[in-house]
Every structure is written in C-alpha cells, then in structure tokens.
C-alpha cells in the first residue's frame, strides 16, 4: 500500500514539469507567399546599369489630340516606338512598362537618402504590362493587360520576365534587443516603394544589399534602429527579399513591431 501511494505521489509531482515543457514548445507557423501577384508586379526596383530606353511608348488609341495628360490603363491600346537598333517586335510579345522614379525620390527622409539611392543605381517604377496585338508598317500596337498606374508616352518597355514570389514561414517575433552579429551581412533600407518615410507591415522596401553581397530571394532580414548615444539596437520588424539586382534588392516587410523608417538598418537572419 505504501509503495502504491508513493508511486502515485511521484507521478502527481512530475506532471506539472511535463505539462510545462509541452506548453513551452512553439510550433512553426504557416508557410505563406511573401506577396500577391499584383504586389510583386508593382514593386519597382533600382537598376545598375540603367534600363535601356530602346523601346518606348509613343502614344495610344483614343487620343486624337495627343493630350499631354492622357494615360492608358488596362484594356486600352498603346503605340510602340523604337530607337531602330534592330529590335524585333512580334505579335504576342509581352513587355513590362517602367518609368524612371526621378520625381518620386526628390523628397528625402534621412540625411543621405539621395546619395544612398544613387550609389545603388537608377530607381524605376513599375507601370504595367502590355502584349503586342498588331505590327503595322507605321509601328506596333499593344494592349494594356495589367497596370499599376497610368501608362504615359515616353515610358520604357522591357521584355517580360515572370517574377517569382518566395514563401516564408511565419514565426514568433524576434528578440527586440538582441545584439548585432558582425559576422552577418548588414545594410539599410535605402528607400521604399512610393518613397514613404514611415511605414509598417506589407510595405515594399529597397535594401542596400544585392547580388554582390550574396542577397537572394526568400532571404530574411531583421530590421533595426541603430540610435545614437550608445543605446542598444532595437529590432522593429522583419523583411523577406523578393527580387535581387546588382547592388540592391526588393523586399517585403512581413512583420513590424512599431513604425519602421527609411534609413533603418538591416541584418541577415
């Protein structure tokens, strides 16, 4: 009888420890796409070297007076011009329409934003996507099949390449005050889509790390504020790389613990 009572008491005392360990385990979160297709097709990018302006928009249908403010959106037709450098434009060909983001980045949100962006290359906005429907002696005609914004005469066309959308696993928040690791790649948020100064989750950012730094699609970066006066770096969010250019990469903010700012630092996880 004493042995039975002793055994039951031992099991009873051991149960809280077993229960605690089960609760302490943090299951992995779901794996989800970083962005939707429409988000991925409208991220913009910073190119080095510049995008060639060999094929471009010269106008479009329903524009008899060649209005300076006429823009073309999904479902409308545009006319294509070229520099005559031997480009072959065929019916069915698909092109991405882009535009230099010169005006967008005239406003600065941190001390050296203009020079930081310039060091990475030339910023471009994604404008839309068109497909050639006719090739006439006077020039090709294309239909706008997708638009991020209105297409304008002078916009540049480049051959379409699908943009892959990486997945990432949702996880618990990072340690807000973990020290930086000098052995990991570091950079900063050089700028953002639409040149926002303050932003949060589901915003597109341009990081100052590219192919030369080993950045790759799907890579996760910790975002932190590196404040003066010898204060510890504060983790404020996470971003996942969507596409990589020579000196920069496009990333999506997938988690934010408070407001994130242009110029904040990033560290590879």
DSSP string, 16-72: HHHHHHHHH------EEESS-HHHHTT--EEESSPPP-SEEEEEESS-TT--TT--B
The CATH code that applies to domain 165-268 is 2.40.30
Tally of CB atoms within 10 A around 80: 23
As given in the structure block, the two tokens for residue 38 are 């429409």
Contacts of 61 (CB under 8 A, 6+ apart): 76, 77, 78, 79, 141
Q: Would you state the pLDDT for residue 19?
A: 36
Q: Give 84's pLDDT tier (boundaries 50, 70, 90).
A: confident
Helix (H) or strand (E) holding 123: strand 122-136
Q: Would you state the pLDDT for residue 2?
A: 46
Mean pLDDT is lowest, of 18-22, 75-79, 130-134, 218-222, for 18-22
Q: Would you state the pLDDT for residue 86?
A: 66
Q: State yes or no: pLDDT of 7 exceeds 70.
A: no
| Whole-number Å distance between alpha carbons of 2 and 4 | 5
Check if the beta carbon of residue 101 is closer than 8 Å to that of residue 252.
no
Q: State yes or no: pLDDT of 21 exceeds 50.
A: no
User: Average pLDDT in the 120-141 region?
Assistant: 97
Q: Give 180's pLDDT tier (boundaries 50, 70, 90).
A: very high
Contacts of 26 (CB under 8 A, 6+ apart): 172
Which of the pair, 25 or 204, is modelled with greater confidence?
204
Q: State yes or no: pLDDT of 119 exceeds 50.
A: yes
Tell me the average pLDDT of the chain: 89
Q: State yes or no: pLDDT of 165 exceeds 50.
A: yes
Tally of CB atoms within 10 A around 221: 28
| Whole-number Å distance between alpha carbons of 110 and 226 | 13
Q: State yes or no: pLDDT of 5 exceeds 60.
A: no
Report whether the peptide linkage leading into residue 49 is cis, meaning its omega lies within 30 degrees of zero: yes
Beta bridge partners of 32: 168
| Whole-number Å distance between alpha carbons of 192 and 92 | 33
Q: Would you state the pLDDT for residue 228?
A: 76
Strands 167-169 and 77-82: unpaired
Q: Would you state the pLDDT for residue 49?
A: 95
Q: State yes or no: pLDDT of 144 exceeds 90.
A: yes
């Amino acid at each position: 009888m004493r042995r039975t009572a002793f055994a039951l008491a031992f099991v009873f005392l051991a149960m809280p420890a077993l229960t605690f360990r089960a609760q302490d385990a943090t299951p992995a979160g779901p794996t989800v796409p970083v962005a939707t297709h429409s988000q991925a097709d409208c991220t913009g990018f910073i190119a080095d070297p510049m995008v060639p302006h060999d094929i471009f928009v010269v106008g479009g249908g329903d524009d008899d007076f060649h209005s300076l403010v006429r823009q073309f959106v999904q479902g409308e037709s545009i006319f294509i011009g070229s520099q005559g450098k031997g480009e072959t434009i065929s019916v069915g060909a698909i092109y991405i329409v882009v535009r230099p983001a010169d005006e967008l980045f005239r406003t600065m949100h941190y001390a050296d934003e203009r020079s930081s962006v310039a060091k990475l290359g030339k910023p471009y906005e994604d404008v839309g996507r068109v497909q050639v429907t006719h090739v006439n002696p006077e020039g090709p005609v294309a239909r706008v099949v997708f638009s991020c914004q209105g297409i304008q005469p002078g916009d540049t066309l480049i051959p379409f390449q699908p943009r892959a959308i990486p997945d990432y696993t949702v996880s618990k928040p990072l340690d807000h005050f973990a020290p930086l690791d000098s052995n990991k790649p570091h950079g900063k948020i050089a700028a953002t889509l639409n040149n926002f100064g303050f932003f949060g989750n589901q915003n597109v950012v341009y990081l100052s790390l590219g192919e030369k730094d080993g950045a790759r699609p799907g890579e996760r970066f910790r975002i932190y504020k590196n404040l003066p006066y010898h204060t510890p770096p504060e983790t404020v969010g996470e971003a996942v790389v969507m596409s990589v250019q020579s000196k920069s990469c496009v990333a999506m903010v997938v988690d934010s613990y408070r407001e994130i700012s242009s110029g904040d630092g990033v560290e590879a996880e």
